Each structure stands twice: as structure tokens, then as C-alpha cells.
Structure 1
Amino acid sequence: MKLKTLAAASTAWLAALALLTASGFTLSATYMTREVTCLFNIVREVRSITQLEVHLLAHERESARVALTHLPEHVGARDAARRELSRWLEDPREPPVTAESAGVFEEAEREIEHYLATHPRAQEDREAEADAGASHEEVDRTFAALERLLATRLAEARIARQRVDEVHRLSEIVSLGAAGLLLAGVLLALWQLRRCVYRPLLSIRAAIDRYGAGSHDARAPQGGLDELREIAVAFNEMAAALAEQRKRQLGILASVAHDLRNPLAALKLTVDGLRPDRPLPHEERLRSMLARIGKEAARCDRMLTDLMDIARLEGGELELRRETRDARELARDVVELYRPTATAHELGLSLPEEPVPLRCDPIRIEQVLNNLVANAIKYSPAGGAVQVTVARAGAEVSIAVSDRGVGIAADDQRRLFERYFRAPSSSGVAPGVGLGLWAALRIAEAHGGRIEVTSAEGRGSTFTLRLPSTSGGAAA
């Protein structure tokens, strides 16, 4: 799983939980608002009904006083009670009437309207006295209708209150459930982050610390997200490459130490013949011994110089001292250097008639040619021809070294110039540590050139050094 995928999944999961929680709260709030509104309307209607009952009784009382006293103040009180009855009769009509209370409400409304219709304001006192008994019956019927309406609305109020309580309990359950889900989602996201990010990071950090402390076999576990797995793989590959490089460097030191033992042993043996407690040998032998000492010292110096050159190449500090030289002379000097020692091989040299000018560091180019010619001789153990050919094609100078030796397998040719690589098909033919061709290619590239190879296993190889004939390539 990739970090982007984990982040997207966690975000989507938490967003879904938040949306679900918000939806639950919204539905609960909407339902609660509706039920509370319904309850408010019922309470308002109950208040209106009680006011109707109060003013009905007040109207009846003032009507009786008017019939007894005929006083103006009682007439005014009676008319005021009648107006209040008409006003409070309109109030219950404003809230929505439920189906359960519609019939009871219509009955109460008819009784009140009938009561008001049978009690006109201009009613004479005598008529009021005659109709007193009938008035009491109408009041009782109207009051009973209002009581039934009140009882119905109170019952509806209790039911609405129960619904509000249920919604409240449901809201609490939804709130607790949503909080639990959100907490579970956050904990799950944190657990995923810990399992897929934090723990792999700690493992990689621990592996890096162990490697830095000197435990070169420390490796990071390849787990967690794809990005962290790639980091762990890269670290493990780097650690393995460094371990292999260290092993090869130790091999180089061991090989150099072994190679130095031979000239040092020859020097020691020669110097033993010149000890102070012995007479000096004859001049002819002395000159031979001094020549041998010089040769072995030069050999040691060349080995150490090559080792220092490799260190400079690895550090990118190789210096080029350029001058214009004839490529034919460089090739001729190298061939003449190996001709006395390669008696089992036929060293050939093919040169053009005209000079081939080359802007280069002659010592470094001779180092490259020495490596190519030495390899051609080493990897032709049965002898045979080794041909060095100098040619010029346009702005390029080519120096080709061909042999008829063991050759190189096609699969190995792509890795020939890798550091420390030695082709399995030729590693048993001659000793080496696999740095010669790598160094040769670095020197050629520093001159702005390259080295090409064509080979067939069992049929020999041709290595071609190609360099610009005019000034080219930046000094390293």
C-alpha cells in the first residue's frame, strides 16, 4: 500500500463517519424541532381553551348580574367578556389541528358560536330572566365541549412529550454511537499509521544506527508502505554494495601487498649481497645488482602510483596535464615496452604514414594502452597475435588492441567496465581485482573519449580507445 492510498483511505473513512454523525444529528434535530413545535402549539391551544373557559364563565356571571341589577358597569363587563370569547375563539384556529382533535374542536367551536348567537348584546333584561334556565344549559354544554377539547389536547400533549423524550434518548444514543465510531475511526487510523509508517520508520532508523555503529551486516526490514519498503530496499542494497566494495577494497589491499612482496623480496635479496660486512662484488655484477634494484624499485613505484590513481579516480580528483602528442608514438612506446617480455605472443603494430596529433595527458593515455595491451597478453595464455592499430576518422583518433584469446561472453560485456567486476569466463585465466578497465574508462571519459569492446567467447576481443583528435574533454 502506498502512503497516498493510506492517507486517502483514512481521510475517506473519517469523512464518512463525520458525515454519518452529522446526518444523524441533523435528522435528530429536525425531528426534535418538529415535535417541540407540535408540543408548543398544543400548549398554546390548551392556554386558549382555558381562557375560553374563564371568559365563558365570566360572561355568564356578568349576564346574571345584568339581569339582576341592570347596572351599566355589569353591562360593560358582560360585553368585554363576550369580546374576549370571540378573540380567544380565533386563537386555537391558527395552529394546525390534528386529525384526532378535529372533531372535538369543531364541536366546541359550534357550541361557543351557538352560545354567542343565543346571547345577543342588546338582549332585554326580561328576556334574560326568562331564558336563564336555558342559558345555564347552554353554558354547561359549551363548557363540557371545551373540557373534552382540553382533555383531547392534553392527551396529545402527553403523547408529544413522550415522542420528544424518545427523540432525546435516541439523540443521546446516536451521539454516543457517533462519538464511539469517530473514536474507533481515529484509533484505527492511528493503528494503521503505527503499523504501516511509525514502526517501519523505527526499524529503518534502528538499522541505520546499527550500521553507523559498525554493524555492517545490519539490514532494514522490508515492510510497511511501498515508499518505506522502497527506502528499506535502497538502504539494504546500499549496505550490501558497501559491504561488497569494502570486501573488494580489502582484496585490493591484499593483492597489492602480495604483489609488493615479490619486488621487496628481490630488493632484500639483492641488498643482502651488499652488506657492510662483506666485500663489494665486481663492477659488472654490482652494476647488474644496482640495475635490478632500480627495476624493482620502479616496479614498486608503479604499483603505488596505480593505487593512488585509483584512489584519485574514486574521489574525482584526477588531474590531466595535456600536451599535443603523436598517437603513433604513444602506441609504439607501449608495444616496445611489452615486446621483450611477451615472447610467446606476436605483437603487431599498424600505424598510418602521417602523424596523428592528439591533445591529451600522455602518461594517462599510456596507462590506458598499457592496461589494454597487458590484458590482451594475459587473456591469450596460449600465445597468438596481439595487434595494435592506430587510425584517424574525422575528428576522432582510434587506437584498437585486438587479441585471439579466451574472449568474453555476451552477457559479461555489459559489465566489463564496472568497478571490481571480472568476467567469470576469464577470471580463472589471469589474476586481478577488476579495476583496470574501470580506471581506463574513467581516464578516457576525462579526455572526452570512450572505450568500445567487441568480443566473442573463445575467439578473442578487440578494445578500441576513441579520443578527439583536437582539444576536447574537460580536465578532471
Structure 2
Amino acid sequence: MTAASADAPVRSWRRVLPSAARTRIIGWMLLLVMAALGVVTLVTWLLLVSSINARMDEALRFEVQEFSELTEPGVNPRTGEPFGTVDEVIREAIAYNIARPNEKFLGYVDGEYRTQSRQEPGTPEVLAGDAEFAALVGSVTEPSEGRYQHGDVGEVRYLAIPVALGGDAGRGVIVAAYLGDAERAEAANAARLMLLVGSATLLGAAVAAWVLAGRILRPIRDVVATARSISDSDLSQRIPSENGGDRDELSALVDTVNGMLDRVEGGVAAQRRFIDDAGHELKTPITIVRGHLDVLEPTDPADVSSTVALVDDELTRMNRMVSDLLLLAHSEQPSFLRPELVDVRDLTEEAFEKLCGLGDRAFTLQGTAPVVALLDRQRITQALIALADNACRFTAPGDWIGVGSAVSGGWLRFWVSDSGPGVSPTDRARIFERFARGEQRGHHSDGAGLGLSIVRAIAVAHGGDVLLDSVEGRGATFTLVIPAVEDQWPQS
């Protein structure tokens, strides 16, 4: 079994098993939802219980008020005759009211139970035969309210009112009572229903969170997968990015990482190009030097002198080549340019004066741009000198070379024209490549083929490019085109 096939089941299981980040996100979210559900359920239950307790207390007071209004005249409302005994008052008052569910009206005479109200179906018979409750409320001498804990139904909330009648020595008590726990059962049922619905909602939220967490974390998984797939030999992998729609923080992360990978790939590619170019071009002069040193005759002064001159020339050429390569490598760094506000007319005239010393050519200043622009004075001068030096290589003494600058539509143009042989269509496609040399047309060139590459690097660093206009046999014009404002420059 190969390592790749052995890793396949592991990757498959990683897709199935929850990641630590995904589990933590879902766990914390469910914990918050559970806490919120618990708080809401508890608060709702407490409010319901408080409302039910207040309603029971209010109902007890209302019932007692009704008893008082019924018995105060001292006349039996059913017969119209005066009450004869306390027992009659109690029985008539209790018979007059029908108790609600979980509500009871009881009558006591001389501490003993006498009667209770008619009950709605479902109300348990628990207080009529309770001797402990009768002892608690049967002999009160003034209105009294309280709580009684019954072994079967739990809390009982009651209000006991003493009843007396002139001419009767008996002492009666009317009791209005609520089975508190039974009455509050609907609040408990509501809380249980909330918990049941909340649990179902929590389950649905867990499923939704699992799906959403997977979608949210997908860019991060892509970052990890892409980072694992990148090697020193392949830096082309990028994280998939969703175009359009809302751009959130994760999208910004993907774009940032992809941009970083672009910069890393560009830096590595530049390093590789530098190494390849240096190795390729330095091999020839080193071979030449070694070959001449191998056949050097130390006893022959003339041979030694010519060999030393040749070695010195090759070393000078290698030094220039390495300097140019370092310059090209440095051109891809942000510190390559030092832009400042420059008078383009003065810059063009100063560069023209320097170019006139390159050779016996008829140099002509063809125009200057009367504008102040933001650019790197030294790099632009360096590019113009490189273009003029290239023109000198392909022209003969007395031929003309034109230099100038102009501005149009926010773009600056610096050009160098010559009356040389021009550039063939074959050479145009590769003339700006490193170490590319065009057809020499009989003229010797000791350059490494980096001059035009340096010119293009300077133009690109300014956010522009180099254009070539040439007719074979009628000369060539190289134009450096750069934006006149820094906002158009490429961002580093």
C-alpha cells in the first residue's frame, strides 16, 4: 500500500468526524441557546405562578366579601325569614356559592366540620375530613388567612371568617380555600411545554448550526488544504473565492491569503529567474576564462599579457551582468522607486545633455513636456540612457538619434528614436526578454541583453510600459509610457 492510498481513509474520516473548531462553535452556540431557553422558561414560570397566586388571593377576598354581604342582613335570602342558628347561616351561605375547580368553601361550628360547597368535577375531596385543618381554622375568632400543607394535594391557601349570630351561642367559621399546587399546575404545564418546544427548537438549531458552521469554516478548511498542497516546486495553488454577493471577513481572509501567495510566488519566481539567468549567462565567461588559463604559457610574456587582458575584460562583463541582474531583481521590490515631484522639461533636457556624450551621433532634442509629474528622476534618466545606448549600438557615426518627452491624457511619454536598421518582426516578440539579443546587422554588441529588460522594469514599476514602433530598415522608436499621477501606479 502506498502512502497516498494509506492517507485516503484518514482524509475520508476527517471529512466525517467534526473538527475541533466546528464542535466548539456548535457547543458554545447550543450552550447559549440552552441558557437563554432556561432563563426564559424560568422567568415565564415565575410570572405565571405570581399571577396565579395573586388571582387566588384576590378570589378568596372576593368570596369572603360575598359571604359578608349575604349574611350581614341576618335574613335567609331563600326563605325571607331571619336566621335561627349559626349552623343555618353557614349552610345557607355555602350552598349559595358554587366553587370553581380547585376552590372549596367549608363551614365549621364550634370547631367541628359541618358542610362544604358543591364541587366542580375533578376537585379532590381532601379537606372535609382533615382533623388537623379543622383544628387550624375551626375556632378562629377573627379573620385569618394562611397556608396549609396537605400531604396529598400540597399547599392550600385559605381565608377563614368567624360567624356569630345573636341569640345563638354557637361559634361558626366559613373558610374559602384554594388548592394552590393544583391551581399552579397549569403554570408547570406551560413551562414543560416551553421546554419541550425549546428542546425541539434546540435540536433544529443544532442541525442548522452544524450546516452553517461547516459553510462558515469552509474557507478556513480551504486555507489549510491549500497550505498543505503548496510545495517549494508548486506555488500555483489558490484558495477558491466566491465572487460577488456580500463580502465578509472570511472572504477578506481568502483574498488576503491569495494575495500573499501571489506575492510569495512572484518572489520565488523572481529568485529562480535570477538564479537561472545568472547561471546561464555567467557560465560562458567563466568557460572562456578557464579555457585561456588552461592553455596559458607562463614563460611567454605576450601570452600572459593577452590572457590577463582577456580575463579582465570578461570579469568586467561579468560584473556588469551581475549588477544588471541585481537591478532587475530589486525592481520587483517596493523600495525600487523613490518618487518625487519633478519638472519633466528640466529632466528631459538634463538627460539629453548626458546622452550627447555616448557617441559620435547627431543627437536631437525633439520636444519637452512642460509639466510637473510625480516620478523617480534617477530611474527615468537611467531608462533614457539605456535606450540611447541601445540606439548607439545599432547606428553608425553621424546617424541621428532623437530624444523627447510629451504629456497627453494624463500619461507621460519619453522616447528615443534612431535612424538605424530597425527591429525585425521576429525580434519584436522577445526583444524585452532578459538576455535576448536582436540581429546585430554587422554591429558588435558586448551587452548581456539586459538593457531593454531594465527599461521595461522601470516603466512597469511606474505603472506603465515600453512601446516599440519600428519599420525594418527605417529605424526604431522606443517610448516609455508612464502615468502622470501616482494613483495610477500599481499597488505594492
Q: Tell me the TM-score normalized by structure 1.
A: 0.49
- Structure with greater proportional strand content: 2
More helix by share: 1
TM-score by length of 2: 0.48
Quick check: which has more Rg, 1 or 2? 1
